[in-house]
Amino acid sequence: MKLRDKVALVVGGSSGLGRACAEACAAEGAKVVIADINERGAEDTLAGIRAAGGAGMFVNTNAMDESAVKAAVDATVREYGKLDILVNSAGGPTEADEAGWHHQIDMYLKAPYYGCRHALPEMEKNGGGSIINIASLSGVTGSMAKVPEGTGYPAAKHGVIGITKTLAIANGKKNIRVNAICPGYIKTELTRPLYEAKDGGDRLITQRLQVPMNRWGEAHEIGKVAAFLASEDASFITGQSIIVDGGFMAR
């Protein structure tokens, strides 16, 4: 229970990696607020958290709307009195066209910025905190994408890492740590078409990508890293991009 008495706001916590982060933080004792537009997914996640003895609530939030993100931060503080942990994990499918490019910037870059912007003052009031931004391998390397329209996602994820490092430097003396997680190939709804191929996505992992651990990652493996970064076990870790990819980037 390394997060006992902590309060975590998970933006995008209704499904996928965000849900895994919410569940992992709750398992370590944190009260969890899920900010998302997917109420059904959030309530399903919270039901599991409560069944395990945890606590939390849902705030209907469009992560691309700054006023809505601020309202989620305010609701968290109003309900639980403080904010210790922020996880920025909003995401969803987009098209590789001009409109999709702008949508990806809004979802994957502006949304984390909004979360950080409004969480930081509350963490400073509280004497510290931990921000975890979900980035991507596309934030540390180039991406196979349709050019130029397909560059929105990697551009946004590179930007998230820039925000992470800059805010870590700016807020270190305030006892606020800011880190990013860069997942590799993880089983989520967004990657379902890949791992539900006839071979279960095995050829992609073992032959095309040659992931050293020879398997897909699971969402809970990202969630546990987020819970670690939120805890005092990571008390001297800030400004880092933690790659969780089964060894893929080691090549």
Which are the catalytic amino acids?
A: 153
Separation in Å, CA 244 to CA 67, 186, 213:
32, 9, 11
Helices (H), the chain: 16-27, 39-51, 66-80, 98-105, 111-125, 152-171, 192-195, 202-203, 219-230
To 10 degrees, what angle do helices 219-230 and 16-27 make? 50
> What residues have CB less than 8 Å from 184, skipping those under 6 apart?
137, 211, 217, 243, 244, 245, 246, 248, 249
Q: Is the dihedral of CA 143, 149, 155, 157 positive or negative?
A: negative
Distance CA 120, CA 92 (A): 25
Residues 75/119, Cβ–Cβ less than 8 Å? no
CA 183 to chain centre: 10
